[in-house]
Amino acid sequence: MPELPEVETVRRGLAPAMTGAVIAQADVNRPDLRWPFPDGMAERLTGQTVLGLRRRSKYILADLSGGETLLIHLGMSGRMLVSGDPLGQFAHEHPQAEKHDHVVLHMDNGARITFNDPRRFGAMDLMDTATADQHKLLSILGPEPLGNAFNEAHLIDAFDGKNSPIKSALLDQRIVAGLGNIYVCEALFRGGISPTRKAGRIAKPRVAALVPIIRDVLSEAIEAGGSSLRDFRQADGELGYFQHRFDVYGRENEPCRTQDCNSAIQRIVQSGRSSFYCKSCQT
């Protein structure tokens, strides 16, 4: 599933084609994805100007001139692709329609935004912009890891007395929004912390040190266009490249990249998810 860097990469790719443009026509080609689409979604989108695109955790939020916000979640295999952009940001002409093109937005500037999702685990919803933070998918979220509210004091307080492994704690969207399996593995490696350590038993200085590490990992991944594993593509159809920088994720039995470390990367399963780490470097 795309994590924060992948979603942010898609948001930045969509912005030049959508911000300030009018949705001249919205085609909704099925009644649902993971959940049913809101009533009259095509009619409610058609004619709306996109005032701006935001990201909250792993959701893209398109604020519309009529006072509603379109929420987009890519799910496991969803892709938002841009074609025919008159601003010259994208070189792709409009492709032929595909079987899994579930929502298509025809912009008045000539761009076409296509939401393609073979597995149909993605989602779209419409909500009042003024109360968007109260939406059931957004109201439970913790602070953004690249924002000021995610700081050393917050993480130390969130971990205080917590008996779950730190890997699970960092994946808890109530503690920090947008982190997923890939980037938690990478951040814990850089922090030298084993994913099996109990969150509440890690020294406060080590917890505090994780905050800038998490920010650095996410920022580097965004700069690289995210990580392309299986289905992820940027909005122009290109791949991300951060997967070539992985220190641990997906590198089971490969040598640790730390200088003078002779250990191999190990994989364990925690709560049904693979954790990759170096047993020598992470304690």
- pLDDT tens, residue by residue, 138-162: 999 999 999 999 999 999 999 999 9
From 34, 206, 257, 273, active-site residue: 273
Q: Nearest Cα to 54, choosing from 95, 86, 26, 18? A: 18
What mean pLDDT comes out for the span 34-48?
A: 97
pLDDT of res. 243 = 47
Q: Nearest Cα to 159, choosing from 209, 114, 105, 111? A: 209
Q: What's the CA gap between 180 and 205, in Å, rounded?
A: 23
Structural tokens at position 11 = 């948001």
pTM above 0.75, yes or no: yes
Is 58 part of the annotated catalytic residue set?
Answer: yes
Is 2 part of the annotated catalytic residue set?
Answer: yes
Quickly count: other Cβ atoms within 10 Å of residue 98's Cβ. Answer: 11
Q: What's the CA gap between 158 and 170, in Å, rounded?
A: 10
Beta bridge partners of 36: 32
Q: Are the C-beta atoms of 173 and 142 separated by less than 8 Å?
A: yes
Domains and CATH numbers, the chain: 4-134 (3.20.190.10), 152-277 (1.10.8.50)
From 11, 58, 167, 190, active-site residue: 58
The 10s digit of each residue's pLDDT in 175-218 is 999 999 999 999 999 999 999 999 999 999 999 999 999 999 99
Quickly count: other Cβ atoms within 10 Å of residue 238's Cβ. Answer: 13
The average confidence (pLDDT) of the chain is 89
Q: Nearest Cα to 94, choosing from 85, 103, 77? A: 85
Is 11 part of the annotated catalytic residue set?
Answer: no
Q: Position of tokens 């792993």?
A: 58
